[in-house]
Amino acid sequence: MTTTESPSVDRFETALAPPVGTIAPSAVHGSEAAVQRLHALIARQSGRIAAVLHDDVSQVLAAVHMTLEDIACDLSPVVQARLRNVRAHLHQVEDQLHGISRQLHPAVVEDFGLADAIAFTARAFTRKTGVQLALSLCLDDPCPPPAADVMFRAVQEALANVAAHACAASASVTVSSQRQSVFCAVCDDGIGFDSSALQSARGSGGFGLQLIRARVEALGGTFEVESALRQGTRLRATVPTES
């Protein structure tokens, strides 16, 4: 069954929408500035949430561990074994919360810079997956914090997808300075996927990549993912380093 909107609705929407040619350039630049301010605000709020997850929640979990250990002294060996299982699950929860904290606010970029942060992530990826990874880093100048944060997240998300879905034997990461911008590319030789379906399935798949795309475009950059079944995947992103 198909549905159609009434002509009155169409006329109403047409009346509200100004012609493209009538949109003032100042309005466009104002919108871009507003998006960048929103991006900075989200980054600061993410840092606050990350700090709560890493510090406050960790203290609560540590107190729970101490309480369970104290209680276990008065219980039978069978119940003590069950409590050890509970504590093991709590350790898993703590690890997951720390992982979320790092994703929300990757302090490694602030502490060591973009190049070292990506190199660290690449080494961790290889240790975890065994996938052969070629790394090429050519950054002339320190990358501004907003661009560095987005580039790190793009590489991080792309490698997470390679580990989880690609079934790849090898992959590559390239990050380089270009004219007033920084460029990154993450490629793999894995099973690939239908990238056209990903682009059309807004909200139903590739959520992490959609978030990265939004962050890149909020800074005035470009983002693209190319893939085909049994032909691997190529992610490319470019972010300006000067306003």
Place of tokens 């609705």: 9
The residue behind tokens 């475009």 is 217
Q: Residues with Cβ < 8 Å from 210, sequence gap 6 or more?
A: 202, 203
Strand residues in 63-180 grouped as ranges (E):
132-138, 170-178
Cα atoms in the Cβ-side hemisphere of radius 13 Å centred on 159: 28
Condensed to tens digits (0 to 9), the pLDDT of residues 199-230 reads 554 443 467 888 888 889 888 999 999 999 99
155 pLDDT more than 90: yes
Boundaries of every domain in the chain: 26-104, 107-240
Query: Which tens digits make up the pLDDT trace of 22-71?
Result: 445 454 455 666 666 666 666 666 666 766 665 677 778 788 888 888 88
Over 90: is that where the pLDDT of 10 sits?
Answer: no
Q: Measured between alpha carbons, how far is 178 from 78 in angstroms, rounded to an integer?
A: 63
Helix, strand, coil proportions of the chain in percent (round to 5)? Answer: 60, 15, 20
Instruction: State the Cα–Cα distance between residues 165 and 159, nearest whole angstrom.
Output: 10
Most confidently modeled of 61-70, 111-120, 175-184, 204-213?
Answer: 175-184
Does 20 score more than 50 pLDDT?
A: no
**Dist. CA 98–CA 56, nearest whole Å:** 11
d(CA 59, CA 216): 35
The angle at the Cα of 14, spanning 8 to 20, to the nearest 5 degrees, equals 175
**CATH classification number, 107-240, choose in 3.90.1150.10, 3.40.50.720, 3.40.640.10, 3.30.565.10:** 3.30.565.10
The more confidently predicted of residues 125 and 92 is: 125
The number of beta carbons lying within 10 Å of the beta carbon of residue 238 is: 19
Query: Token digits for 30?
Result: 């104002």
Q: Is the pLDDT of residue 138 over 90?
A: yes
The DSSP letter of residue 64 is: H
Both tokens of residue 180? 């007033």
pTM of this structure: 0.61
- Interhelix angle 207-218/25-51, rounded to 10 degrees, is 130
Q: Taking Cα atoms as reference points, which of 127, 122, 184 lies closest to residue 150?
A: 184
Distance CA 105, CA 43 (A): 7
Our CA angle for 232, 237, 243, nearest 5°, is: 180
